[in-house]
């Protein structure tokens, strides 16, 4: 699940397994908040190096500030949902071939993909062969979704991905039941 936050769940022998989902400060890799945070950190790194990021002007404009230091203050003062919305700007810039925006999205998706692989490796035999993808980032951002699936396939080439369009909780709790119904119908 990757929306404002993120988490990877699995279930085996009636027990839930979890990787990530530790919140916006310590985790939520691949989430909208993570994308926003990575973008601002890239701007800060470039600023520290005496350079200007391709993302500086768009992020400052989106935050309605004119200075990087003020942008940081505003980021800290805003709630996490508001900060997560900056990911939409990064996605738009990536669609316009902004290389730094693309890097942010790819890096964030790869981090989430690694969590999928980590969870998969925790399963005892027989390991699942399907992964359900849910959440607004995976639903609306093709680059993030494609990077995640490609990265996972590098480690687990046999995995199939399915999109869940209902409530994220349903994706976690009822996925097994849905797949059984599909097999039996």
The phi, psi pair for 4, rounded to 5°, reads: -60, -40
In terms of residue numbers, what domain contains 18? 8-184
How many domains does the chain contain in total?
1
Q: Which of 63-73 are b and which e, b meaning 16 or more Cβ less than 10 Å from the residue's Cβ?
A: bebeebeebbe
Res. 41 pLDDT band, cuts 50 70 90: very high
Give the pLDDT score at 16: 81
Q: For residue 106, tell me if it sits in a domain.
A: yes
Whether the Cβ atoms of residue 58 and residue 113 lie closer than 8 Å to each other: no
Give 89-106 pLDDT, tens digit per residue.
999 999 999 999 999 999
What is the pLDDT at residue 5?
Answer: 85
In a domain, 1, yes or no: no
pLDDT top residue among 75 and 14: 75
Q: What is the CATH number of the domain that holds 86?
A: 3.30.420.40
Domain assignment present for residue 32? The answer is yes
Burial class of residue 13 (count of CB atoms within 10 Å of its CB; 0-12, 13-18, 19+): exposed
- Write down the pLDDT at residue 167: 61
Q: What is the pLDDT of residue 143?
A: 97
The pLDDT, as a whole number, for residue 155 is 95
Domain assignment present for 3? no
More confident residue, 74 or 176: 74
What is the structure's pLDDT at 7? 86
Maximum C-alpha span of the chain: 61
Look at residue 11 in the predicted model and tell me its pLDDT. Answer: 81
The verdict on residue 2 lying in a domain is: no
- The model's pTM: 0.88
Whole-number mean pLDDT of the chain? 89
Residue 87, both tokens: 């990911």
pLDDT above 70: percentage of residues in the chain: 89
Asked whether residue 40 is domain-assigned, the answer is yes
Residue 53 in this model has a pLDDT that exceeds 50 = yes
Which residues are 19's β-sheet partners? 8
48 within a domain of the structure (yes/no): yes
Q: Higher model confidence: residue 61 or residue 132?
A: 61
């Amino acid at each position: 699940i990757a929306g404002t936050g993120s988490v990877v769940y699995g279930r085996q022998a009636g027990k839930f397994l979890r990787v990530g989902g530790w919140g916006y400060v310590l985790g939520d890799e691949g989430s909208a908040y993570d994308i926003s945070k990575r973008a601002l950190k890239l701007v800060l790194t470039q600023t520290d190096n005496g350079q200007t990021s391709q993302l500086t002007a768009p992020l400052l404009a989106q935050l309605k500030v004119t200075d990087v230091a003020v942008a940081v203050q505003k980021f800290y003062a805003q709630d996490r949902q508001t900060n997560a919305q900056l990911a939409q700007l990064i996605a738009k810039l990536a669609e316009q071939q902004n290389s730094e925006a693309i890097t942010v999205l790819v890096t964030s998706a790869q981090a989430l993909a690694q969590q999928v692989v980590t969870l998969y490796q925790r399963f005892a035999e027989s390991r699942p062969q399907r992964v359900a993808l849910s959440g607004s980032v995976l639903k609306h951002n093709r680059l993030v979704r494609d990077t995640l699936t490609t990265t996972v396939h590098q480690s687990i080439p046999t995995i199939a991905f399915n999109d869940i369009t209902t409530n994220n909780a349903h994706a976690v709790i009822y996925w097994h039941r849905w797949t059984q119904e599909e097999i039996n119908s």
